[in-house]
Every structure is written in structure tokens, then in C-alpha cells.
Amino acid sequence: MTITPTLELVGLRKSYGKFVAVDGVSLAVPPGTIFGLLGPNGAGKTTTIRMIMDIIAPDEGQVLFAGRPRRREDLERIGYLPEERGLYRRMTVVEQLAFLGELHGVAAAEAKRRAMAWLERLELADRAPRKVEELSKGQQQKVQIAGTLLHEPEVVILDEPFSGLDPINQGLFKDLLAEYKQQGRTILFSTHIMEQAEKLCDHIGLISKGRVVLDGELADIKRRLGGNAFRLTAAGDLERVRSVAGVEEVVLDPDAPDRARLFLAPDADGARVLAELVGFLAVRDFRNEEPELGEIFVKVVRDAA
């Protein structure tokens, strides 16, 4: 049975003069998942999200929502947190949240009720009558999060959501995203912080220089690319490992001079590499190991350059 993606990007392209910001991006976001749009700064993530949200128009390609071309009214079903945050600083906190709810079609009385419920949940109820400008930066970030979710969107799109958040608010945000996923909603967020993506994402799309260089289910990607990652523990000259045939990369452990991670060429035989290593090292451990997302990120981006 074919599952229709909640969002699908088909050949999106956007250029500014001679600079191509997004170059033929095609991605499918399955329903009820957390999808990470990953890439280094300047890769084209924000431009892609702005095209999804119809803030800017693509030069080529289209955005599909539930299997059909996205319409303006579909945006009411999306909660969007832009990279450049913005609140009306002279509004009271409860007025700000209620206003954001009304913008998304929530009736005034219901919007105020939801606003107070969110403030209670975020431990900001006592700040409800205060002006936004009187809140700390962390408190304002909580208000932004509540404003993104207050209209109970089917789809949540977040551009660098963890940027500037302190550890407590990061944990709060991750809990909210996990809760939304459990409710069957779809979440897409962009980030260059691989640790956050690895903990949260079911699927990823990795963009480099405006192009998709890797996409799919995270677990499958790790299985597919993890066959050539090994953990080595040995006494001796680990720098010499770099010269062994079949070894593409060696990452030394700065905290343990006897440990390293090895990445072998796709056609390399781990047993043969080990046979050469024992010729000049006292090997205590050599095991196949699933790579971290950050390591995959660095390798794929470098290979695509």
C-alpha cells in the first residue's frame, strides 16, 4: 500500500541572480513522522522552507500537500516557526498568543482560553498580563513555541528551532515534538545541529549547496552507511592506520590515545584490514559500529563537494 506523503517537494529551484540557492530539491515527508531537513549553514534549508510556506515562489518545481498542489488555505493547517523570530513587544503575553490564534482562524474566546492553557503548561501564567518586552529571552522563546502550536496544526514546520534555546527549553521543545508525533502529526524541522536531529528524526534529507545529497529513513541510512565504520582500541602508532589500504578516514579519540574510529572504503574487507593492523599494533578491540549522524553528515557533505 502506497502512503501519500504529507508534504512533497518536486524539483524546487530558486536562484538570486547567478547564485543558485536551491537546485532541484525533491523530498517526501511521510505522515506522522519527524523529518529533519539537514545541512550546513547556507545550504538552502531556509529558502526551501520559505518556498513550502509560500513566502517566496520557486523558479521551478512545486510543493505538494497531501498529494496535490499546495493551496493557500493549506497554510492554515501548518504551524510555522521561522528562523527569524518576531513578537509584538508592546502586546501583553496573553494578547499576543490569542492574536496568533485568531490569525489562524481560532475564535477570539477560544484563542484566549488556549493561550492561558499554554501559559499554564509553560509555567508563564503569572506573566500573562505582562508586556512581551518585559519577558526574558527564554520566556519569549516559550511564547513563540506556544504561538506556533496554539491553533493545533496538522503539520509543524520549524526553521532552526533549537537556535538560542537554553538546555531547559530545548528539553521542553523536544517533549512537545515527541507528543505531537504521538498524536499522528507531521513535523519538519531544519537544523545544522546533528545531535538534535539524531535524537528526534525518523527521516532526514541532507542538503549541501542547494542540492539533496542524502535522504531516507534515518535507521536505514545508518544501516546502509554503517557497514564501513569500525571502533579500534589498540596500543601503538594509531596515526599509521591512515596508510592502511582500504582505510578512508581515521578519527582519533582526543580523550583516549588508544582509541579511534575507522571508516573503510565501501569495498574494503574488515578482516583484511584487521590482519594488517595486528602487524604493527597490539589490537585489543576491533568492531563494526553504527556511525553517528554527525559523522555521516561530514562525510557525505565532503564527498559531495
For residue 99, tell me if it sits in a domain: yes
- Which residue blocks in 104-240 are alpha helix, DSSP H? 108-121, 137-149, 167-182, 194-200, 218-225
> What residue has cell string 589498540?
234
Q: Mapping DSSP to helix (H, G, I), strand (E, B) and coil, where does residue 179 land? A: helix
| Contact between residue 130 and residue 122 where contact means Cβ atoms under 8 Å apart | no
Domain check: are 120 and 164 in the same one?
yes
pLDDT at 195: 86
For residue 118, tell me if it sits in a domain: yes
Domain check: are 60 and 180 in the same one?
yes
Here the cell at position 298 is: 561530514
Domain check: are 108 and 254 in the same one?
no
Here the cell at position 131 is: 508586556
Domain check: are 249 and 105 in the same one?
no
Any bridge partners for residue 64, and if so which?
A: 8, 69
Domain check: are 230 and 133 in the same one?
no
pLDDT at 1: 64
Which of 171, 293, 210 lies closest to 26 in space, CA to CA? 210
Q: For the chain, how many residues are written? A: 305
Which of 220, 218, 195, 196 lies closest to 205 in space, CA to CA? 218
For residue 128, tell me if it sits in a domain: yes
Write the CATH number for 292: 3.30.70
pLDDT at 265: 86
Domain check: are 176 and 250 in the same one?
no
State how far Cα 125 lies from the chain centre: 30
C-alpha distance from residue 260 to each of 36, 38, 198 (Å): 28, 26, 21
Weakly modelled stretches of the chain, pLDDT under 70: 1, 226-227, 305
For residue 216, tell me if it sits in a domain: no
Here the cell at position 177 is: 515534538
Domain boundary residue, one of 209, 231, 250: 209
CA 279 – CA 282 distance, rounded (Å): 8
Rounded (5°) CA angle 77-80-83: 170
Radius of gyration of the chain (CA): 23
Domain that holds residue 104: 7-209
Domain check: are 90 and 192 in the same one?
yes
pLDDT at 280: 96
pLDDT tens digits for 10-57?
999 999 999 999 999 999 999 999 999 999 989 999 999 999 999 999
Domain check: are 120 and 97 in the same one?
yes
Here the cell at position 255 is: 580523550
Exposure string over 249-275, b if 16+ CB within 10 A, otherwise e? bbebeeeeebbbbbbbeeebebeebee
CA 289 – CA 222 distance, rounded (Å): 10
| Close Cβ partners of 138 (under 8 Å, ≥ 6 residues apart) | 165, 166, 168, 169
Number of folded domains that form the chain: 2
| Close Cβ partners of 94 (under 8 Å, ≥ 6 residues apart) | 112, 115, 116, 119, 128, 129
Q: Mapping DSSP to helix (H, G, I), strand (E, B) and coil, where does residue 296 land? A: helix
Write the CATH number for 144: 3.40.50.300
Strand order in the sheet with 19-29: 19-29, 7-16, 60-65, 68-69
Domain check: are 238 and 200 in the same one?
no
Which of 196, 130, 134 lies closest to 169 in space, CA to CA? 196
